[in-house]
């Protein structure tokens, strides 16, 4: 049942529509999903009961029939789903966003000095995440799919957990540097496309990390 004592990671798995509400309030359910909704709300200065009402309304409005539950997938199928749904699109999206960030910072950097910082963070996300995807696909995922040695899987899960925390930190820096992905009235089409793309990246990465942290990892973590 939905309640203020619901654990964030379970809440998002049971009610996927809640993720958008939590993201809107900058509540981290991917790397800090062990908290209750009430605890997370208070940490953000929100009324837990009001936040719960907002989540219930989102769940009722969107409905959730027909959405596959990743917890019902085998580990092999889950890994394939993660690669197809998140890894492959990221390999296209990250270079595109980095190039667009460089262009917007070059053209509009004098008018908005924050764009230089946005470019720096986007580059770090690009470099770190592509290396992270490669490591998962060459070390962790093959070990899981082949039933590899437990010690090897545990070591790779530890690396994954650490790198996920680093990604979450970079996303918060990006949100601050973009002032919540808001664009000024004078922004050109490239500027608007960039910030829309960065907001989408933030959303996709949080769902991606949530899936790995709270569905994949518990199957193997001690």
Contact between residue 155 and residue 109 where contact means Cβ atoms under 8 Å apart: no
For residue 81, give every residue at least 6 positions away whose Cβ sits within 8 Å of its Cβ, in sequence order, or none: 70, 73
Q: Which residues contact 70 (CB under 8 A, 6 or more apart)?
A: 13, 78, 81, 211, 215
The whole-number average pLDDT for the span 58-68 is: 76
198-215 confidence digits (pLDDT tens) = 999 999 999 999 999 999
pLDDT mean over 98-114: 96
Contacts of 107 (CB under 8 A, 6+ apart): 188, 190
User: Under a CB-based contact definition with an 8 Å cutoff, are residues 129 and 93 in contact?
Assistant: no
For residue 102, is pLDDT > 60?
yes
Q: Using one digit for the tens of pLDDT, what is the confidence trace for 132-170?
A: 999 999 999 999 888 878 888 999 999 999 999 999 999
d(CA 146, CA 163): 23
Looking at residue 64, its pLDDT comes to 64
The predicted pLDDT at position 147 comes to 84
Token code pair at residue 130: 């592509």
For residue 117, give both structure tokens.
């910082």
- Using CA of residue 131, residue 134, residue 140, residue 141, what is the dihedral sign? positive
Rounded Cα distance, 196 and 104, in Å: 13
Contact present, 84 and 66 (Cβ < 8 Å): no
Q: Which residues contact 24 (CB under 8 A, 6 or more apart)?
A: none
pLDDT tier at 14, thresholds 50, 70, 90: very high
Q: What is the tens place of the pLDDT at every residue in 17-60? A: 999 999 999 999 999 999 999 999 999 999 999 999 999 999 99
């Amino acid at each position: 049942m939905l309640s203020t004592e619901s654990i964030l990671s379970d809440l998002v798995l049971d009610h996927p529509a809640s993720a958008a509400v939590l993201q809107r309030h900058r509540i981290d359910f991917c790397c800090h999903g062990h908290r209750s909704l009430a605890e997370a709300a208070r940490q953000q200065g929100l009324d837990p009961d009001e936040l719960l009402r907002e989540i219930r309304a989102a769940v009722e409005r969107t409905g959730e029939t027909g959405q596959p539950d990743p917890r019902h997938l085998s580990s092999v199928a889950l890994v394939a789903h993660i690669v197809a749904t998140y890894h492959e699109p990221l390999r296209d999206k990250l270079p595109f966003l980095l190039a667009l960030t460089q262009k917007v910072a070059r053209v509009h950097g004098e008018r908005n000095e924050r764009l230089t910082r946005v470019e720096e963070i986007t580059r770090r996300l690009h470099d770190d995440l592509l290396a992270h995807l490669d490591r998962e696909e060459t070390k962790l995922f093959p070990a899981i799919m082949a039933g590899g040695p437990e010690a090897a899987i545990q070591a790779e899960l530890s690396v994954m957990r650490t790198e996920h925390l680093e990604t979450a930190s970079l996303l918060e820096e990006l949100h601050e540097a973009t002032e919540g992905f808001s664009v000024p009235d004078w922004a050109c089409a490239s500027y608007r496309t960039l910030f829309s793309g960065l907001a989408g990246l933030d959303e996709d990465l949080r769902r991606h990390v949530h899936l790995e942290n709270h569905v994949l990892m518990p199957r193997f973590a001690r």
